[in-house]
A and B are shown apart, each in its own frame.
Chain A
Amino acid sequence: MKVLVVEDERILAEGITDHLVKEGFVCEVVHTYAAAAQKIGLYKYDCIIVDINLPDGIGFDLIDALKRARSTAGIIVISARDAVEDKIRSLDLGSDDYLTKPFHLSELNARIRSIMRRRNYGGTNEIIFEEIKVNYATRTVFVNEEEVFLTKKEYDLLMYFIANKEIALTKASVAEHLWGDNVDTADSFDILYSHIKNLRKKLTEKGARDYIQTIYGIGYKFAKK
């Protein structure tokens, strides 16, 4: 899966690229509007991550150009501007998602995967992780072909884990994924803990192995070993 990262801040661009490469994406990075416009004209990408404020142009114009070229690429806008008008404008132009800086890389990854799922990338409605199978069209989860009934939050949590498998996730990133901006109370970590406990219990009861690891001081990791 090919991703183009358009971001002028080099540290951030590098951080994003490193992370996405680790996640198995083929990543290209450009730092200017001109370079991005050229790349878009030449190659086909599955997903494009665009910063709004570029030194030589504005990201909105890139989205516009993509849409006029009838590109099917998913578009995620990353911006330091948290204004509602900007969000509305970028969604109106046809971008798929909007992330305000600073964001968690795991969140960006989850959003890319979600867009890819919505585009039915790979021609299936299912994600399989070992003995766990998720049908995201029907939002159903199976362990060894036996259905596990999850609450909405537990399902979201599992999807987030699967999207970010083998990655150390901070509690804050998981909590923010589940509750968005309402996360600024320490209590949400406790609720998160209880959700994780329930999810773990429901999965292992059906015979799945316990993939949710707790990393002391950081958070969690969804991994095979």
Chain B
Amino acid sequence: MKLQTRTTLNYIVVSTFIYVIVAVSFYVAVQYVIYEEVDRRLLVEKGDFEHFVDRSGYWESDSYFVEDKIRVHATSISSPVEFKDTLLLGRYASQFVPFRQISFDKEISGKNYRVSIRKSLIEFNYLLSVITIVMLVVLCAGFSLLYVFQRRTSKRLWQPFYEALAKATDFNVHHGDKLVLPKQKIDEFNDLNAALNKMTEKILSDYQNLREFTENASHEIQTPLAAISTRVEGLIQDPSISAKHIQWIQDIHESAMRLSRLNHALLILTKIDNGQFQDADLVDLNRVVRKHVDEMEELIAFKEINLRVEESESFTARVNHSLADMLVSNLLKNAVKHNLPSGGSIEIAISSTSLRFVNPGAPLTVPPRKLFERFQKQDKSTGSLGLGLAIVKKICEISDLDLDYEYSNGLHSISVTKSSS
């Protein structure tokens, strides 16, 4: 939920609540005042009535012309003075009209009478409803105005926050652009911006340091390896070295080369992780496949692997060029390496959204879900580094491609598919 929506909602709930309370209490207060007034007048009329009766000693209903306002009837039971609301049929209009009535006992000519004086409430009710409606309308307008004002000011007030949020969301450590958030008038936002500026600056410098460290470490490793390799090549030229020692020297050389390849592969993984292969282009994967098939053709033919490339459609994906090369090359090498010792085959199927490598081979010795992890080797004795598929996986991850593995009927199938999202 948006901050704005949340505040608005809160505002509406609270203002409705206040609105109802104010309306009810206002209504009750006005009504109370009106009753007070009516009752007071009734008391005055009671006094007038008593005065009249005391002076004249009789009562005639006719003396009041306008309305059936005073009713007098004889009764033997004496009751206290009582106010009450009542509905009476109007004299001309045949509908009930609200009245306020005061009832009291009065002795007229030695006989006890119960006297009720009534006063129509109709004009007071009208007054009450007019006051209530006006009050409701004014209150409603007030609240609405306040709401609009609140919304506007909060929008303006939170503007720097939304700006900072948008910039922070856009921030990409790989682009290396610092987050530059301007100074704000409001202290909190100013602090927030300053904190964000400082934080991203730190992230950038840490990232840069890490990047440089990884690359430098990797290059520093390559140089002594080159020195080892050079010396080994020098040594094997020496005819006085025994065959056994030559073998040892060869082993040293092979290990050095392996270390170098390992270092190289790990560097690539780190570079991908660090997002140093950001510039992606639309790459025609069919062409990349053809290129690598051409390069590997000799090896494939030599191993008597039957290669079939089925290009039903063209598959273009947004990938970095070097990574696309690595992806296809690693998958192809993988298919060659883990093929049958004789009578092997590779089928490469390309559709507009997928690239699939299918080859027969022994079942996996590692669990399939671990296949794409680093240093997972099918055969521990081979010179394989166990990083090829980990690199493939990484490339897919950053290029919006899905990577799947299946094994059925003795066939390994690895497919690269465009992510549906």
A residues with CB within 8 A of B: 9, 11-12, 15-16, 18-19, 22, 53, 80-82, 84, 100-106, 153, 167-168, 170, 172-173, 179, 182, 184-188, 190-191, 194, 216-218
The residue in chain A whose Cβ has the minimal distance to the Cβ of B228 is A102
Residues of B185-231 whose CB lies within 8 A of A = 215, 218-220, 222-231
Task: Name the interface size band of chain B.
Answer: 35 or more
Inter-chain pairs besides A102-B260, A103-B229, 4 sampled, C-beta below 8 Å: A12-B227, A22-B237, A81-B219, A191-B299
In the complex, chain A residues whose CB is within 8 Å of the CB of B220? 80
What are some 11 contacts across the A-B interface (CB < 8 A)? A9-B223, A9-B226, A9-B227, A12-B226, A81-B215, A102-B222, A103-B229, A104-B233, A182-B333, A184-B383, A190-B302
A109 to B64, CA, bound (A): 138
Say how far B410's CB is from chain A's closest CB, in angstroms. 21
Please give, as numbers and ranges, the residues of chain B lying within 8 Å of A194 by CB-CB distance. 302
Contact A101 B298 (CB under 8 A): no
With a cutoff of 8 Å between Cβ atoms, the chain A residues found around residue B230 in the complex are: 11-12, 15-16, 19, 102, 105
Taking the complex as formed, is B247 at the interface, i.e. its CB lies under 8 A from any CB of chain A? yes
Q: Which of B218, B253, B267 lies at the interface centre, i.e. has the most chain A CB atoms within 10 A of its CB? A: B253
Task: Return the chain B residue nearest A167 by Cβ.
Answer: B237
Q: Which residues of A contact B243 (CB under 8 A)?
A: 216-217
- The one of B222, B229, B250 that contacts A80, using a Cβ cutoff of 8 Å: B222
Contacting A at CB under 8 A, from B214-270, are 215, 218-220, 222-231, 233-234, 236-237, 243, 246-247, 250, 253-254, 256-257, 260-261, 264, 267
Query: A residues within 8 A CB of B234?
Result: 15, 18-19, 105
B contact face: mostly helix, strand, loop, or mixed: helix
Q: Does chain A have a CB within 8 A of B296?
A: yes
B336 proximity list for chain A (CB < 8 A): 185, 187
Q: Are B322 and A84 in contact (CB under 8 A)?
A: yes
Is there contact, CB below 8 Å, between A53 and B302?
no
B295: interface (CB < 8 Å): yes
Q: Per a CB cutoff under 8 Å, which of A9, A81, A106, A186 touches B233? A: A106
Give the residue of B225, B227, B256, B333 whose beta carbon is less than 8 angstroms from that of A15: B227
A174 to B254 Cα, complex, angstroms: 14
What are the 6 A-B residue pairs with the smallest beta carbon separation, nearest first?
A15-B230, A102-B226, A80-B222, A101-B226, A80-B219, A11-B227
Asked, given contacts A15-B233, A217-B247, whether A103 binds B226 with beta carbons under 8 Å apart, the answer is yes
